[in-house]
Chains A and B, each alone.
Chain A
């Protein structure tokens, strides 16, 4: 089965939610809709589900137009960001409900429910009510209900966003296995680049209701078509520095010059914008070719096992992400290093010109 959406637009009260979106999803594919809040991820998902009608455009399933078909008649399942279960049913009945409605036999339902419950580690909670479970368990119940039915289309709207960190990581791994076992089209929305990278598959970068780029997740990550895509697809957003090339010298900002080597060798003279992900900036040089940059430290944020240094390099704000916990004096000078080979180069208008060749995530 394949789903094609053609020129989908959605506007409510003159506000544009989606603008002219055309995409294609193939059977068995994992698709991630990545974008910030209000990018239109949920709107697109709801249109795919048939919960909302697009203002313009068509949805084709195997080349048949299903745009106006009621959600009840489509073979889909969906997991919401909020934990949505039927509060008056036990966990068992919650998971069993789509099968019961479909009129499946009792013994068949039982084996399917237990299988799904096992997959999501809910075996011991089948007799309980959703209100008695923790958030993570409730969401697992919702996922189990979505998985128990063999659907052609599985939609997940930021399913892990309200869960705690540990549980999220656990479920991310479980979900990858579960997705791999099915032949359904999986569409998964997320705001987190790291989640998208873990899930792999294909990605659609959305911003303000428009598709900025779509393709294989790792390819989009390594070759973001525009600065906007690079910003959305890195966390913290990619660092941007104005730069210009004169002959064979690359001026990064005002104070740093780099010889034009490696992937930048053929760069013509002119003005550009350089992009570098914050995890490619280091406090200590990693190899001989690394270039040192001096900046003022504005703020140091500690996030468990990593430290984020917000620095000011001649008026340009940059973030340096370093594994480990460091304490540095605020407003003091700080030296950090970058490998010119990990630089992205964008044109002044924001299109990608060069991306690093040997990259690591």
Chain B
């Protein structure tokens, strides 16, 4: 059978994409000695010690828990604040609405490092350093504008007449919003949550600076594995694999709506 050029190209592409991930998986199943001594394309002596260590050592697994806590908090805060904001942008016209809408996006134009100092100062004053909420709130600076943008696109796709019909039927706003409106932008909310998750899960700089021990995220833990005996390669690889898993899971759930989300609901 002749393989089409396109298929071949695609296979090579996927191979190159998957190679680093495979290599990490490969490493995570080896001992440090194996990794450093021999070169092998697959683990000859499979060991789960690296994974067991992560799941039993609290300095490792608490990193995951911390990350999950502040990421979840951030998703919830972003959605709860962005939903009404996006509704306002999509349904009402008010003075400066277009400028404000654009201004929201400019918040994403500055690198996180710009905000490090003010956040650190502010949170120190309020005693928020090393708490989950500190990181969750800091990430809102980037996620809320994005959430408003994505949700506005989805909401504008819902005919205004549906809102009016509901009001004519006698619905009060909160009931209309929760029972009629939200179900129609379900996929938009899923996509928004995904984007919030993605940013918050991978963001390192703010998360590391604003935490010390109690809320230290997994990404920060991973950067601090250099010990006197050198790098713990296997452990680091196992941690890396475990860090990819939640992201992959979330992508799996929103895969059908992702393209629409990237287009801000305007597909």
Contact = CB atoms under 8 A, between A and B. Distances in A.
Interface magnitude class on chain A: 20 to 34
A84 B161 contact: yes
Nearest to A49: B168
Contact of A98 (B161, B169, B172): B169
Q: Which 8 residue pairs are nearest across A and B when measured between Cβ atoms? A: A88-B183, A98-B169, A101-B170, A84-B161, A80-B161, A71-B167, A84-B165, A86-B180
Contacts of A49: 168
Interface of B: 159, 161-162, 164-172, 175, 180, 183-184
Contacts of B180: 86, 88-89
Given A86-B180, A88-B180, A71 B164 contact: yes
Given A88-B180, A88-B184, A82 B159 contact: yes
Contact of B168 (A71, A82, A86, A88): A71
A142 B167 CA distance: 14
Given A72-B170, A88-B180, A98-B169, A51 B162 contact: no
23 contacts: A49-B168, A51-B164, A51-B167, A51-B168, A71-B168, A72-B170, A76-B168, A77-B169, A78-B164, A80-B161, A82-B159, A84-B159, A84-B165, A87-B183, A87-B184, A88-B183, A89-B180, A97-B169, A97-B171, A101-B170, A102-B170, A142-B165, A145-B169
A72 B169 CA distance: 7
Contact of B170 (A51, A82, A86, A98): A98
Main secondary structure of the interface of B (DSSP, over half): helix
Contacts, number: 53
Contacts of A98: 168-170
Interface of A: 49, 51, 70-72, 76-78, 80, 82, 84, 86-89, 97-98, 101-102, 142, 145, 149
A197 B160 CA distance: 32
Nearest to B186: A88
B172 to A, nearest CB: 7
B159 A86 contact: no
Contact of B171 (A72, A77, A87, A89): A72
B168 A78 contact: yes
B82 to A, nearest CB: 21
A149 B168 CA distance: 11
A72 B172 contact: yes
Nearest to A77: B168
A43 to B, nearest CB: 14
Nearest to A51: B164
B184 A72 contact: no
A159 to B, nearest CB: 13
Contacts of B171: 72, 97, 101
